[in-house]
Amino acid sequence: MDFSWTDQQQTVYDRVLAGARALGAQTAPVPDPVRGLWRGCAELGITGLSVPEEWGGRGYDAVTTARAVEAAGRGCPDMGLLFSVLAHLFATAMPIVEHGDDTLRKELVPPLAAGARIGANAITEEAAGSDVTALRTTAERHGDHYALNGTKTFVSNAPIADLLLVYAVTDPAFGFLGVTCFAVDRDTPGVTIGAPFDKPALTTCPAATVTFTDAVVPATRVVGRPGQGAAIFQSSMRWERSCLFAAYLGQMDRLIDETVQHATTRQQFGRPIAANQAVSHRIAEMKLRLETARLLLYRTCWLLDRDEHTPLDIALAKLHTAESAVQTALDATQLFAGSAHSTRTDIERALRDALPARTFSGTSDIQRELIAKGLGL
């Protein structure tokens, strides 16, 4: 067992950390996602970390990708921006890389990897969240094209996306084996993107509903094969539940640094609050949570690279990292006390941005179900 980083992985971490800190220091109140901070992420290579070099990406394996994502999460406190970019990478670009034919890869992947085009994953519906088998959006074949009808909701990046990865039912009789994945251009007639949601967390990742009304999609835009949509979606979840959540490792690392600094300089009753065991032990628990999450997550990425992963491994990493991110942000809020609720600190935003980790990419309760099934229960 070797827990050290390779020279390449450490170089990647240091480079992305420095770039992410520069991004995080920008003060634009409403950043332009295309020409502003998104461009900065693209220049750091974040939009194409795991995309093979032949398709315009960095070609990193899962461990190195996660290491870069962790650096981004530590350096940049804008988790909404990072979630936006990483959802684009793992839920849009990577499914095309892994399942699209060469024609589709050549056309779509390089501009996605470069950040020149922005991708969005459209699967969730009002009646189909955790239960993706309940999809009602349909795609009916008509010769050389499909007609899409239905409505997707909570589509991250929808207001700014150029390309939508859409999951629709093509054969209702086959259940989840009757779901197909389509790469749909934003300007396709019949595609309507709603107004951005007003949401309290991950605010710099815009989201909206997307409605399809007899939207004509060429059969050549099917990703993989008809009926393969469920498997494609699950492959994207492998990336999200492991590598994307490395951003929360970085966030926890940053919060611990800030909390230690605060606890050693904040004076109460004539001494630093760190001298109180209740404070120092709370910070010790924050560190313990981070390191156990880090071990679980990187072990999962290592297994992904060896193609030895199981749903149990991925669920353990996702669940523990998500819950640890929330509790660590709560602890930081407690230790910063009143100042945590000031816009002068990142603590309050970190808490708001950590809470959705329990929900997206499969809720914490769904992860517990997967763990139970992995144990044979």
Active-site residues, by number, are: 240
Residues 93, 112: contact at Cβ < 8 Å?
yes
CA dist 211 and 220 (Å) reads 21
Question: What whole-number distance in Å separates Cα of residue 318 and Cα of residue 357?
Answer: 9
The contacts of residue 251 (CB under 8 Å, 6+ apart) are 73, 74, 77, 79, 325, 328, 329, 350, 353, 354
Instruction: Using CA atoms of 326, 330, 331, 336 in order, give the dihedral in degrees to the nearest 10.
Output: 140
Q: How far, in whole angstroms, is CA 121 from its chain's centroid?
A: 11
Rg (CA), the chain: 21
Distance of CA 253 to the CA centre of its chain: 18
Structure token pair of residue 30: 């409403």
Q: Which of 104, 9, 109 is nearest to 62 (CA)?
A: 9
Structure tokens at 360: 């997206």
- Dist. CA 58–CA 46, nearest whole Å: 9
CA distance linking residue 57 with residue 49, whole number of Å: 6
Task: Look up residue 363 and give its two tokens.
Answer: 């809720």
As to burial, measured by CB atoms within 10 angstroms (0-12 exposed, 13-18 middle, 19+ buried), residue 352 is middle
DSSP summary character for residue 162: S
Q: What does the DSSP 8-state code read for residue 117?
A: S
CA 258 – CA 204 distance, rounded (Å): 23
Listed in sequence order, the DSSP H helices in the chain are 7-24, 37-43, 62-75, 79-88, 94-99, 102-113, 229-239, 246-265, 277-305, 311-336, 347-354, 364-374
